[in-house]
Structure 1
């Protein structure tokens, strides 16, 4: 077994962060549609979380925002002329499409890709498969830049393989690591990778939600496992409860989170709870690990409370003493049922003995909490040395990014502000400077 460390790559919230309510099935996103956002506050809240965890000794890095607005999308849909003319016409004729082109949703890096560490893969490299996110227009174009970004950071092919997104069809709907959990004895040891899907494309008789879309298919999950060269005995495919999806649980990471050998989950997370746990126990036994499930009963926390507080969309982090800390959004402390449960959890003597709370209200109002904001990548020392180091959060980089946000971000962005052509110029100037700060020249296609 090699020694490995988990790095959390948080999405740096982009300058066009806004509340357009584009994500049907995401209750928080829909509830805040057309509200006024504060991009500056959103970015600073995210950076504060990154810094605090880095100061605690957790390995912290970031992924930069994507170029906005997405002129490729707008021009492909018939909006022509200069950039300013394209924006003006789109706002006049199809404001929802303009909002889609301006979406800052790449901040949700849990949806960027699915990651399998080198301890699990047939060729001994860390594998990334970029998510196609084809369920929503505003996210369906992200994969091209995500692939560019991941290849810029993980470009050493001796250690890394970055796969393009799966075909953008309903059969292969893929939302990345938000529906993927790795369980293991240690980050550098072989693990069990659990893929959670919402529906089966090629079995019309399989259970499926009826109110909200199931964004992850079994077929997509199986394809990712093949691309990564996973051992079939250590790749499990588990169905999310369709009734739970219909209550606003649009990804598995809204109802369950795992780390090490601990699975923290709601009793209504999976179609077959007992069968899922039994399969995990048997698979983990094959890698000399013992499953430690932490089950939350519906009588303690309802699905509605879990969704509104994002209890399970929390980061579960291993501490040096072998125990775990749960990084929760502030909303968990404001929900009486959830707050009471968390007090009992921390005092229970179980594997989770510490709670760390952050104010992430800007991102929470757009439908994502601490876990949505990060992509977990387990790296050996050699792999960490081989990646681009300019994205690792240090005190120096933190200071530079805070100053950068202060120079370029607005503190108020209303829906009609997307019609302002100067916003596009501001975003471009910000990202041009960011690539210099991070040491990633020509990161964006617009810089070619």
Structure 2
């Protein structure tokens, strides 16, 4: 008998070093805003406002903390020595690109934090977590250790939750987390279909692959996670992302497709074998019929989908049908805005559209869906997790006050070498772990 369950959203809180370093080759938005001045305070408040709006609508909304940046352990591992101030000074003078990478606030995009399989799908009926190794990008490859600590602190009861280490950090097992994974189901507490989307087959050099931008997720990584999570063939579909879409700037599948419940919202360039993917999902989906909402290139050209992040929206289950939470940029691109109006009038599964301002994140290449990790939890699992990270009115007010006290209004690349910034970050994060009740998850606390 299926248990009652909910889909909780755990959003990444934007970190104090949020900046535009343009570190992500293949992410068009990230590159187009390189070296512009950022506003960390505004970015964090925008993210909190999005969380609050969804919490107010009745969704279970959690908060994941930023990581310590600049990451001093990484800089020291790369040969910079001396005091913290000396390490920062050396890196800024001789290797500013490395300092920028070690200072990135990219952990805010928690769609890349991990892959999560609900207990209804797994062999041992526990919720399984695997932090993403993010091996395609150096600045992100250093995240999984603290991500794993954080998830273990929140989901600590091993009778309900199982944690796996990140996959080997090599290109053959490149894993980008839930940005390339979605789950379709009749009900959250019922067995579902986990759709893993990959960009290339690492051990087959003749297989289709993009030519301009790198494919970050491999089939081998997706298959390994399915094995680790104890997923049967009846719960899994593996689909290759269209290489042409990757070369058009679709660096993760969640930039061109999003699913929830029995609804899959996708662009016609999303999958290399579209008909086969849909047939495989339909064959495995029980208790309901797949509602495939297909957007054609005639309706929304791929360039407009990338510019607006139409598909990097949150697809949320609402009482009157699906709600699509889109970034404000969707109303600034004419083809996308027209499409959204037509979508609501069409009478399909997506009944409403709501606009969210996450411009600071968008300028660095991440929309509403990038900022959240979805975790399906039964009532018992929800009760067993650490509740201090669940957003309430009181926690929202406390976090807003915390951001306003600790975050800078403006940050440039030159500021990353400022030892005062590191001190500010550590003081802020030490206070935050107390607010959220997470214990010592950071290197500087250990």
> TM-score band (shorter)?
over 0.9
Runs of 5+ in structure 2 lacking a partner? none
Where 2:129 maps in the other structure, the secondary structure is: strand
Per-residue CA shift, 1:187-228, capped at 9, x if unaligned? 111000010000001111100001000000000000000000
- Mapped partners of 1:291, 1:351: distance in 2: 10
**Is 1:315 paired with 2:322?**
no
- Mapped partners of 2:121, 2:420: distance in 1: 47
- Mapped partners of 1:445, 1:76: distance in 2: 13
Q: CA deviation at 1:289?
A: 2.1
Q: CA deviation at 1:442?
A: 1.1
- Mapped partners of 1:325, 1:214: distance in 2: 30
Q: CA deviation at 1:172?
A: 0.2
- Mapped partners of 1:156, 1:355: distance in 2: 37
Report the RMSD for the aligned CA atoms in angstroms: 0.6
- Mapped partners of 2:163, 2:354: distance in 1: 33
**Is 1:368 paired with 2:347?**
no
Where 1:357 maps in the other structure, the secondary structure is: strand
1:95 is matched with which residue?
96
Q: CA deviation at 1:243?
A: 0.7
With the length of structure 2 as denominator, give the TM-score of the two structures.
0.99
Where 1:127 maps in the other structure, the secondary structure is: strand
- Mapped partners of 2:12, 2:296: distance in 1: 31
1:247 is matched with which residue?
248
Where 2:196 maps in the other structure, the secondary structure is: strand
Per-residue CA shift, 1:30-89, capped at 9, x if unaligned? 001101000000000000000001001111011000111111110111110000000001
Q: CA deviation at 1:275?
A: 1.3
Q: CA deviation at 1:276?
A: 1.1
With the length of structure 1 as denominator, give the TM-score of the two structures.
0.99
**Is 1:142 paired with 2:143?**
yes
Q: Is the 8 A contact 2:70 2:416 kept in 1?
A: no
- Mapped partners of 2:182, 2:375: distance in 1: 12
Q: CA deviation at 1:288?
A: 2.1
- Mapped partners of 1:230, 1:39: distance in 2: 40
Where 2:364 maps in the other structure, the secondary structure is: coil
1:6 is matched with which residue?
7
- Mapped partners of 1:314, 1:66: distance in 2: 24
Q: 2:396 aligns with which of 395, 398, 404?
A: 398
- Mapped partners of 2:141, 2:280: distance in 1: 33
- Mapped partners of 1:97, 1:244: distance in 2: 29
Per-residue CA shift, 1:72-121, capped at 9, x if unaligned? 11011111000000000100001010011110000000000000000000
Once the two structures are superposed, the pairs formed by residues 5-404 of structure 1 within 5 Å of their partners are 5-284=6-285, 287-321=286-320, 323-404=321-402
- Mapped partners of 1:19, 1:13: distance in 2: 13
Q: CA deviation at 1:279?
A: 1.1
- Mapped partners of 1:227, 1:115: distance in 2: 11
Runs of 5+ in structure 1 lacking a partner? none
Where 2:373 maps in the other structure, the secondary structure is: strand
Where 1:370 maps in the other structure, the secondary structure is: coil
- Aligned length, in residue pairs: 445
Structure 1 residue ranges (4+ consecutive) displaced by more than 6 angstroms after TM superposition: none
- Mapped partners of 1:213, 1:361: distance in 2: 26
Where 1:434 maps in the other structure, the secondary structure is: helix
